[in-house]
Amino acid sequence: MMGFVAIKEVAFPLGLSDEERVDLRFRTMREARTAARIPPIAELKLGWQERGLCQSGDATVFFAPDSERIREREKREMAAKRVCAECPVRQQCLEHALALPEQFGIWGGLTELERAEESRRRRGAAAPGRAPVVVPIRIGAQRDRGFAETQAQEREDAEVAA
């Protein structure tokens, strides 16, 4: 059922011109109309999102807090990627995140930077005369493990040198 929002009064800050008041009133009315069109979350039919394993867990694992240390971020991202690795709708989630594009959080098992890289890779594959290639992404690919091993070796070398 569609609801309507009645705006009886709008409190205007002092010192606004008539033109600014009209603009503010119309913006307020437009925001109210938009809010009236958005159904409650319980009524939304989300499809694949409802089957995601992330729905049953802690959403903070998938989105970074304001001030997060590097080690904490790495642990959080790995926990989120473990959930995504088992998720039955991971590929649909990734396609959604790349299509919008989602700017924040872990989607389809990829971080913001990994999704940007994947998007660039796909744009390159879709050069004129070639069909776009959709390749499922392995979470925690060998190159990622190699990077972590290299970082660990560099830390050990630095400790030995000290």
Q: What is the pLDDT of residues 18-52, one digit of tens each?
A: 777 667 666 666 665 555 555 555 566 668 888 89
Question: What are 110-160's pLDDT values in tens digits?
Answer: 999 999 999 988 888 666 666 555 555 555 555 555 556 666 677 777 777
Tokens of 131: 């069909």
Question: What are 112-124's pLDDT values in tens digits?
Answer: 999 999 998 888 8
Report pTM.
Answer: 0.52
Query: CB atoms < 10 A from the CB of 73, how many?
Result: 13
Residue 2 has pLDDT above 50, yes or no: no
Angle between helices 70-86 and 90-99 (to 10 degrees): 120
